[in-house]
Structures are given as C-alpha cells and as structure tokens.
Amino acid sequence: MNCKKLHRNCIGFSLIEVLTVVAITAMLMTMAIPAISGFTSPAGRKGAVTIVMNTLEQARVSAIETGRETVVLFWKKNGVAGFPPDEQDAVLVLRKSQDDSAWESISRWVKLPKGVLLDGADEDSAILQNDVSDLTTPSVPSLPGSPNIDQLRFVRFTNSGSIWSPSGSSAGLYIAFTEGQRATGTDDLQPNKQKSGGKEVISLARYTGRSTMDIVDLQ
C-alpha cells in the first residue's frame, strides 16, 4: 500500500506525543480533584453548617405552614461518658401534634461530619445552653437512638416562625461549630485535640427565625 496516496489513513501519533497527552491529562485531573471535592464532600465545618441551616429552615417553614411549634434538637453525643470519641453530633426535627398533646418526629437524626462538634461551652450561646427540660408539658418523647437528656439542646420555632427563647432576648442566638474532640462527660474540648482554624457560626434572627452564616471571632 502506498502511504503517499492514502496518507490520511497513515497519520498517527508518536509514542512521545501520546505520553505527553496522558501526563497533561493526569496533571489536570489531580488539580481538579480538590476543587470538585470542595463542592461535593460533606466533610468539615462548612458541611455541618449546610446540614444545620437546611434543618433549621425545614423546621421554620413547617412551623409557619402548619401553625404548630417546631423544635430542632441538637444531640451532643461526645458529652457523656460511655460514648466512643468518634461518635458524631446530630440534629432532629420535632413538631407539636395536632391536639398539642405530644411532640412527633418529622425527620430522622442527621449526623454532622466526623470531627465537627457543636460548641456549647460558650455561655453566651442561648441556644446551645437551652435545656430540654425547658420544653414544658408535653415532654419530649422517647427519641430514636435513646439520647441522654443531658446531651440534648434545642432551637424552638413558634407558629409564626420566630425563635422562642427563655430570656426573650435576641442575645446569644447563634450556633458555633469547631473541630476536635470533647473531654468525656463535658462540653469542654480537649486542648490537644482541638484543630486550629477558628469556628463557623450560624446566627438566627429572633423575630423571623431565619438563619445566616456569620463571621464572628468567638473565643
């Protein structure tokens, strides 16, 4: 066969050209992976913020649409002795029943990313200092997972979508997240287990119940 006559069928790539293309493609894929994972991975404090903000909005909308009080429970699992250090904090939504006689679950427990903790050691946080005993009669029912009552905190939405607070004040209506590990049986983080990088903070508006990502330098 004469390649001069059928030169179109004889055109190809040299081995060096093929290897060059493969190397460039591999390099581009390596560079793209961190960027892609930043959008899709649930890991880290920002993943926790997304989970909690979505849950808060679900509860707020439910309270307004149904005219029934709704509660977001925060389960701080590492705060009690007997739980392994890799347990994950979680959130759950409860709503008053139609006859106002009980609380009913309208979601499942949603876990926060591993290593991300609800930071409740700050006494200025009215939300994460809320004791479940403040949920007066009817009391919180036996919940899936059987959490210890000492591990639970909450945000409570009225039927207008506003935030209920024991003090009636807008001060301290925020939820902070950090990374690390709690000392067993306390809200305090182990100093040698806390990661650097500060905290992510969600603030809630007292009268509208809307949550926003805040930039706050919490100590």
Please check the confidence at residue 55 and state whether its pLDDT lies above 90: yes
**Which pLDDT score is estimated for 24?**
75
Report which secondary-structure segment, H or E, holds 56: helix 45-66
Residues above pLDDT 70, as percent of the chain: 65
Look at residue 37 in the predicted model and tell me its pLDDT: 38
Do 132 and 81 share a domain, yes or no? yes
* Residue 38 φ then ψ, to 5°: -65, -25
User: Which positions ≥6 away from 76 have C-beta within 8 Å?
Assistant: 89, 117, 118, 120, 151, 152, 153, 182, 187
Per-residue burial over 168-194, b if 16 or more Cβ lie within 10 Å, else e, is eeeebbbbbbbbbbbeeeebebeeeeb
Q: Per-residue confidence at 66, pLDDT binned at 50, 70, 90?
A: very high
Mean pLDDT of 155-159: 92
Q: Would you call 26 exposed, middle or buried from its count of C-beta atoms within 10 A (0-12, 13-18, 19+)?
A: exposed
Domain count of the chain? 2
- One domain for residues 72 and 141: yes
Task: Check pLDDT > 60 for residue 73.
Answer: yes
Does residue 102 form part of some domain? yes
- The whole-number pLDDT of residue 120 equals 59
CATH number of 90's domain: 3.55.40.10
Amino acid 41: pLDDT: 39
pLDDT of residue 36: 37
Most confidently predicted of 75-79, 86-90, 159-163, 180-184: 159-163
**Domain enclosing residue 17, as ranges:** 9-39
State how far the Cα of 199 lies from the Cα of 116, in Å rounded to an integer.
Answer: 10
36 vs 157: which has the higher pLDDT: 157
User: What is the C-alpha separation between 205 and 219, in angstroms, rounded?
Assistant: 22
Beta strands 152-157 and 116-118, pairing class: unpaired
Residue 159 lies in a domain: yes
What would the pLDDT profile of 85-137 be if each residue is shown by its tens digit? 556 889 999 999 888 888 889 999 999 988 888 875 555 677 777 778 777 65
Residues 96 and 129 in one domain: yes
| Residues 76, 125 within the same domain | yes
- pLDDT on residue 17: 72
Domain contains 2: no
In-domain check, residue 4: no
